Structure 1
């Protein structure tokens, strides 16, 4: 029997967590004799009624004893990731599922398909569900801005080797060998790089992450340009911070060995001042300043290399370059002001 612990990451999600948990309660993995499943709601740093709303939804599960709600006083997704993996999950659990509390699961076999995919591929350490915007999934009328946001969707590069922080499954033994620095704005990018480099020790191997076809979840799309730009700024800031962290720990691992890396990541996972202190030392860098230049040009570069060069794609590339320019400059300013590291 395969054991799976499912962690639901929730920060001020009182409005929607009940519906999300009722979605989860319909998942076939909860009724499959091949799996022993435990669900933990990780309500962290909440200032609303997330915990109460989650407890109200417990009755929807086939066995209410399989779900437990934790009210964690300290917030932060990275901090909560460490607590889930190292303190709350079963010590010998085979697989860990990481889920955000604001997604929807229109397919009832999402988790069983992800777990079966990982079980059938011993060389794969983690697998993700494909994120789909709600405005693309449901046939609803869209305004001009919403159509623009929808048309600009899609990933750059190979999404099969990506980690989608909204919903992914990882081998328990692999997760237990990793700790995440507190305050990372984009913790899934850190986790991905740790996996494809064998915890920062090996050359990159993208085949350590893979994705089954047709497995998806829904997330609420941004509906306004302002909120979309703020979201993109967070992504750029998070990517720049991850690059600075990698620039510190990868040479450390190569120079001083595995024990030094473990000690450094253990400190980073316990000390909220570790990341801000690192950024003050590492940034800005002479080559690129606060944010690496590829964060400005990656969308345009991908388009130029891959096409197709249709009028619509060309227009989206031009609009995207302007959009990325705004996010890039705002991220530079935010990091320069020392406001990069944060909980959410």
Structure 2
């Protein structure tokens, strides 16, 4: 078995070493298993700090101490910033073409369970109908003994996120390599994990949704930093609304062109090559056809829809939180809607979306 682990990094010099050390504490690196070859590929994209150099020196030392002798590593820098662009490079260029499984992970997470990666691979091994496995996300504030009011609010909002079925989080997921290599990220897309989920469950927009293709592994978890500053949280929520709206535009645009002979992956690859700015043009064209409001309805109603997955008792308990979250969503939706109507100005001045990487769960 061959496993490739891609770590996409944007100016992560302060944390890449800790993340790599946490990675190498995973059981798959510490078992003498000559049947499992592992490669670790760090992809710094558009970095202006020492991410690449620190990653190289850290990996060189870690590989020497790994019990599994079939571990290799590389650091592949990409000049152009942007996580989707780095994703395309890793999946289609940098990863081992003979790999059976591909992991995608962020450069600023810490593993909580030492069997996380092993469990995620094993989940796909024993479930032939599953294409992607994910772990359980744990906010760092959940581990605090004394939680502030904002910590408790952050944890409560997690229960009314509106996520459907098992969701893919870009911080960490494992896929069958054959599945991921059919997918191409549109240049200019704002968030890649929701896009991967859609491509997987619809077989690249050629079939109805099959959510069961994404499964959660047992004994698998990692820690990520939750937003506890109100201003950062609101900016992040606005970005999520904007990103999901853009993804919806792309799905709708591609849907009519996709079929068994030509799926979304091949169409996107062709469009990226012919016109790298096609997503930006699609956004401006779609927004101009809207009658003022350009945000999909489901993004406003997602908090209430999530209550349908709870028992009546729990739904009543979380209803006030859902209302509060809805009011926040309404505010950020208005802000995102305004940005969409000023997309040309926003896209020319925005900071690369790689800077914002946490996913609100």
Q: What TM-score results when the alignment is normalised by the length of structure 1? A: 0.91
Q: Determine helix, strand or coil for the equivalent of 2:22.
A: helix
Aligned equivalent of 2:116, options 110, 114, 122: 110
Q: Determine helix, strand or coil for the equivalent of 2:158.
A: coil
Which residue does 1:201 correspond to in 2?
206
Aligned equivalent of 2:270, options 267, 273, 289: 267
1:69-114 per-position Cα deviation (integer Å, ceiling 9, x unaligned): 1222111111111100110011121110000011110211110110
Q: Determine helix, strand or coil for the equivalent of 1:279.
A: helix
Residue 157 (structure 2) pairs with residue 178 (structure 1): no
1: CA distance, partners of 2:309 / 2:211: 20
Aligned equivalent of 2:107, options 88, 101, 110: 101
Give the direction of change, closer, same or farther, for the CA distance of 1:116–1:263 in structure 2 (3 Å limit): closer
Aligned equivalent of 2:281, options 273, 277, 283: 277
Give the direction of change, closer, same or farther, for the CA distance of 1:155–1:4 in structure 2 (3 Å limit): farther
Residue 94 (structure 2) pairs with residue 83 (structure 1): no
Which residue does 1:60 correspond to in 2?
62
Within a 5 Å distance, the mapping from 1:317-336 to structure 2 comes to 317-336=322-341
2: CA distance, partners of 1:11 / 1:335: 25
Q: Is the 8 A contact 2:205 2:263 kept in 1?
A: no
Give the direction of change, closer, same or farther, for the CA distance of 1:165–1:305 in structure 2 (3 Å limit): closer
Q: Determine helix, strand or coil for the equivalent of 2:218.
A: coil
Residue 56 (structure 2) pairs with residue 51 (structure 1): no
Q: What TM-score results when the alignment is normalised by the length of structure 2? A: 0.87
Which residue does 1:308 correspond to in 2?
313
Give the direction of change, closer, same or farther, for the CA distance of 1:260–1:97 in structure 2 (3 Å limit): closer
Aligned equivalent of 1:228, options 221, 227, 233: 233
Within a 5 Å distance, the mapping from 1:15-54 to structure 2 comes to 15-32=14-31, 33=33, 34-54=35-55
Which residue does 1:12 correspond to in 2?
11
Within a 5 Å distance, the mapping from 1:94-173 to structure 2 comes to 94-136=100-142, 138-154=143-159, 156=161, 161-173=166-178
**Number of positions where the alignment pairs a residue of Structure 1 with one of Structure 2:** 340
Q: Is the 8 A contact 2:119 2:219 kept in 1?
A: no
Extract unaligned runs of 5+ from structure 1: none
Aligned equivalent of 1:290, options 289, 294, 315: 294
Q: CA shift at 1:143, angstroms?
A: 2.7
Q: Is the 8 A contact 2:161 2:303 kept in 1?
A: yes
Q: Determine helix, strand or coil for the equivalent of 2:76.
A: strand
Q: CA shift at 1:311, angstroms?
A: 6.5
Q: Is the 8 A contact 1:10 1:41 kept in 2?
A: yes
